[in-house]
Chains A and B, each alone.
Chain A
Amino acid sequence: MKITPEEISHVANLARLHMSQEEVEAMAHQLDDILTYVAKLNELDTESVTPTTHAISITNAFREDEVQPSLPRDKALANGPQQNGETFVVPRVI
């Protein structure tokens, strides 16, 4: 494995993280170490193994589609870094 700084920059952009060139290079080394370690999984033949998606076997958890009380708007907005009492406010998009 050799992870390039360009790949880290690409992934950081996907993850919406800003990273300095120094951070990108350090991260490339660390990710490389970790993925080299993880490559040991390829020692195992898993061709016919079903992947685990859930630790215990439960099927769809259905409930009645009933209206329940929800958070009042002022409580839902209370943690917003910028809000106008009705909506969250963000920098202009258009």
Chain B
Amino acid sequence: MSLFTLTIHELREMLARRQVSAVELTSDVLQRIEKVEDRVKAYITLDPESALKQAETADKELKEGTGGALCGIPLSIKDVLCTDGMRTTCGSRILENFVPPYDATSIAKLKEAGAVLLGKVAMDEFAMGSTSENCAFGPPRNPWNTEYICGGSSGGSAASVAADACIASLGTDTGGSIRQPASHCGVVGLKPTYGRVSRYGLVAFASSLDQVGPLTKDVTDCALMMNVISGYDAKDSTSVGQEVPDYRSTLTEGLHGMKVGIPREYFIKGLDPEVEKAVQHGIAILSEAGAETVEVSLPHTDYCVAVYYIVAPAEASSNLARYDGVRYGFRDKSSDTLLDMYKNSRSLGFGDEVKRRIIIGTYALSSGYYDAYYKKASKVRTLITEDFKKAFESCDVLASPVTPTPAWKLAEKIDDPLSVYLSDILTISANLAGIPSISVPCGFSSGGLPIGLQIQSSHFQEAKLLQAGYNLEQRLNISHLRPKNL
């Protein structure tokens, strides 16, 4: 049996019973990475030596019985979360040599729980993208078919989990960046409620939308990761002090009494028939498990992409002003004046998509245009949030597709940014409203590419998402399937 194929909950028991050591497990996963990495290309930075050292510490703790909830579990981390002493590039040339002097709070929590950090995985530059092709160090591939995109921006996270090149991963989601790659790679991905997980040490893209969350092999692992990373943090003034339940303890409850809303606007024109079929099958399974389905309406869905492509670039243009070649990151050393140094450092350091979004955001915030764009978008954002409030008066969760189509071929849409933006139409609203949302695998296309089912709920109801996802997963029984020929 290969250890690398197993889940956190399976390995935790084996580690606790001393059937396997953390060093054996980490070595096994490192061998797996060596075998698949030249095809999957998930990792930007891999540190086997540090991983084995962490595993030795975990073994000591396991022996003494003091190990935390993730003791000895090897994880990959999206390269947007600061890791003390380990390079953090954000997929950008401008941070190619940046070594953070501190840990993000979510990383500190994983370490405290005993997790083994293998390295940092690829992503679209500064999390801007839906394919991971905007990574300055080359795109990761979809393990189910390496000619296809793995999704983005947490593409390296999803690809490394699907390829068994880690046991689980931590990603971030600003407009679908956990759920969309999870859907394309056939893994579970959860974007928590805004404020549920600390953003301290997460390199900011759009501060009112960003959230940190897990990508895992199954729903139980997702619950275990959420138990560790959730909670208030004094270092993030937008984190919320609401009590963190034990997300695993409610997974096995049936769905009797749960109302599942089907938002009619999410079954849009252009929805791939195979995606629709798999999602409808998933919804039928939720009904079999005892849930009642009701049709609901989210009338402003069609406006969410327009709102997002004002709000997110506006916040990004402000957040990315800090990359000026002074305190960290790339500096063009040939510039003689300060202004040239700023301009040349930024122009040489940032990639095309990042520059495009900085321009959109700067334009939308510039004098004379603020009311027409940013303020207008912020008002429509309120309407989108109110749609959800109304919908959740008649249901507990919403079920829908995650993406309109399965993954597409690498480079297929690289010259058409607007069409890629539009593919985020089903995931963006959750970020605008701050609600939690999960992607759970629900089937495959005829070409063998995974399809995910999206479940959304009102603020801080992650337990319901995980419960519905768990019931779906148990009845579908596909979470053990792995890419062939890898």
List, in ascending order, chain A residues with CB within 8 A of B379's CB. Answer: 46, 49-52
Select one of B303, B326, B329 contacting A40, CB under 8 A: B303
CA distance A59 to B366 in the complex (A): 28
Secondary structure call for the A interface: loop
Chain B neighbourhood of A61, CB < 8 A: 237-238
CB distance from B205 to the nearest CB of A (A): 15
Q: How many residues of A contact B (CB 8 A)?
A: 46
In the bound assembly, the distance between CA atoms of A31 and B417 in angstroms comes to 10
How far, in angstroms, from A42 to B333 measured CA to CA in the complex? 46
Q: Say whether A2 faces chain B, with CB atoms less than 8 Å apart.
A: no
Does any Cβ of A come within 8 Å of B141's Cβ? no
- The minimal Cβ–Cβ distance linking B308 to chain A, given in whole angstroms, is 10
User: Given that A79-B98, A90-B326 are contacting pairs, would A14 and B380 also be in contact in the complex, using a CB cutoff of 8 Å?
Assistant: no
Residues in B whose Cβ lies below 8 Å from that of A16: 321, 324, 339, 342-343, 346
Question: Across the interface, do B99 and A14 meet the contact criterion of CB distance under 8 Å?
Answer: no
Q: Using Cβ atoms and an 8 Å threshold, which residues of chain B touch A18?
A: 343-344, 346-347
Closest to B232 in A: A61
Name the residue on A nearest B361 (C-beta).
Answer: A15
**Chain B residues near A67 (CB-CB < 8 A):** none
Segment of B10-18, B31-39, B381-389 in the binding face: B381-389
User: Which residues on A sit within 8 Å (CB–CB) of B317?
Assistant: 15
Judging by beta carbons under 8 Å apart, are A91 and B341 in contact?
Answer: yes
- Chain B residues whose CB sits within 8 angstroms of the CB of A14 once the complex forms: 362, 366
CB nearest neighbor in B for A81? B331
A35 neighbours in B (Cβ, 8 Å)? 363
Number of interface residues of B (CB under 8 A): 73
Q: How far is the CA of A78 from the CA of B362 in the complex (A)?
A: 31
| Interface residue? B110 (CB, 8 A) | no
Q: Is B378 an interface residue (CB 8 A)?
A: yes
Q: How far, in whole Å, are A49 and B307 apart by their CA atoms in the complex?
A: 15
Nearest residue, chain A, Cβ from B367: A14
A17–B306 CB distance below 8 A: no
List A contacts of B338 (CB < 8 A). 90-91, 93
Q: A18-B343, A41-B377, A58-B238 are in contact. Are A12 and B359 (CB under 8 A)?
A: yes
Distance of A76 Cα from B238 Cα, bound (Å): 25
* Cβ contact of B418, chosen from A11, A27, A33, A76, cutoff 8 A: A33
Mark A38-70 against chain B: 1 for CB-CB distance below 8 A, else 0.
Answer: 101110101001111111101001010000000
Neighbour of A51 across the interface among B333, B347, B381, CB < 8 A: B381
| Contact for B234 among A30, A63, A82, A93, CB less than 8 A | A63
Q: Give a binary string over B431-446; 1 marks a CB under 8 Å from any A CB, 0 the rest.
A: 1111000000000000
Q: Whose C-beta in chain B lies nearest to the C-beta of A36?
A: B418
A75 to B327, CA, bound (A): 11
Query: Which residue of chain A lies nearest to B239 when distances are taken between CB atoms in the complex?
Result: A61
Q: Contact check: which of A19, A55, A78, A82 meets B434 at CB < 8 Å? A: A55
Tell me if B150 counts as interface (CB < 8 A to partner A): no
**Contact across chains for A56 and B459 when beta carbons are under 8 A apart:** yes
- Give 14 A-B contacts (CB < 8 Å), ordered by A residue: A16-B324, A17-B346, A31-B359, A38-B377, A41-B376, A46-B376, A50-B379, A56-B240, A58-B195, A79-B99, A79-B329, A80-B328, A90-B338, A91-B337
